[in-house]
Amino acid sequence: MSVPHALAPSDADAAIRLRAVTKIYDSGVPALGPIDLAVGRGEFVSLLGPSGCGKSTALRLIAGLAAESSGSIEVAGQATPPRGGHAIGFVFQEPTLMPWASISANVALPLELARTPKAETAQRVAAALARVELQDFADAYPRQLSGGMKMRVSLARALVTDPDILLMDEPFAALDEITRFRLNDDLLALWRDLGKTVLFVTHSVFESVYLSQRVVVMSPRPGRIAAEFSIEAPEPRGEAFRTSADYAAQCRDVSLALAATGGTRGHG
């Protein structure tokens, strides 16, 4: 069901709000916009689009890692970077772990940068590792972990400051399908338990429909919002939904909208 803007939260309910935002890189590349996007508090929204349509750029602007060329962005009610500081946790496509540091030291990094007292850091790191079921690997090193486990560490590092908002940039794209399905389910459980706002970037129609309450389809350069879908699913989602005709039908609708943008079709 394509419902452009119908489900956008009101100003008071928005955790993230972009108004007429554009990004033109110094090289002259018009990468994004103008786009208007609102993500409600506690909502799980996916940005879906072909390679190069500006999905990562949108996340980077929201996180304050790059500046918009025009328009305005509000995160947790703040309009200027760092826009709430630890209100945001960022998970990149690569786990980006420090190879020379233990898993617990990797997860502790954001707290150390914020000069958090040692006892509190230790307690928060232990809780974050337990949350992603890696409590037994605190003293291990990244090279000893599988790709899926490294991504869990990256997730724990994003959660350790207890941010209200998680920005996730194709975090599971490099993983095999079984690991990816498992991490999808773990992420949904985490979202249900912790009530975070999640903005999730993906190429995958299947992943976006499985995970999200709302899928925002973007068109190619400069990226604009082409369609929005409210995803209907029984909660909690799981294997029954993934194998249902209802899931397949919604994937088909989203896939058609993506194809209609004229970009390279997203892969499964």
Ligand X SMILES: Nc1ncnc2c1ncn2[C@@H]1O[C@H](COP(=O)(O)OP(=O)(O)OP(=O)(O)O)[C@@H](O)[C@H]1O
Output 10 or 27, the one with its CB closest to ligand X. Answer: 27
Contact 9, 38 (CB under 8 A): yes
CA distance 98 to 107: 10
Please, what is the minimum distance in Å from the beta carbon of residue 51 to ligand X? 3
Confirm or reject binding of residue 54 to ligand X (CB under 6 A): yes
Q: Which pair of structure tokens corresponds to residue 99? A: 């190879």
User: Which residues within the stretch 163-202 sit at the binding site for ligand X (CB under 6 A)?
Assistant: none
CA distance 168 to 183: 13
Q: Which pair of structure tokens corresponds to residue 160? A: 């350790």
Output 31 or 128, the one with its CB closest to ligand X. Answer: 31
Among 55, 152, 214, 237, binds ligand X (CB under 6 A): 55
User: Which residues within the stretch 27-46 sit at the binding site for ligand X (CB under 6 A)?
Assistant: 27, 29, 31
Among 1, 25, 77, 177, binds ligand X (CB under 6 A): 25
CA distance 48 to 231: 13
Among 22, 39, 40, 56, binds ligand X (CB under 6 A): 56
Helix or strand (DSSP H, E) at 228: strand 224-230
Output 94 or 139, the one with its CB closest to ligand X. Answer: 94
Phi, psi angles (nearest 5°) of residue 117: -55, 145
Q: Which residues bind ligand X (CB under 6 A)?
A: 25, 27, 29, 31, 49, 51-57, 203, 221
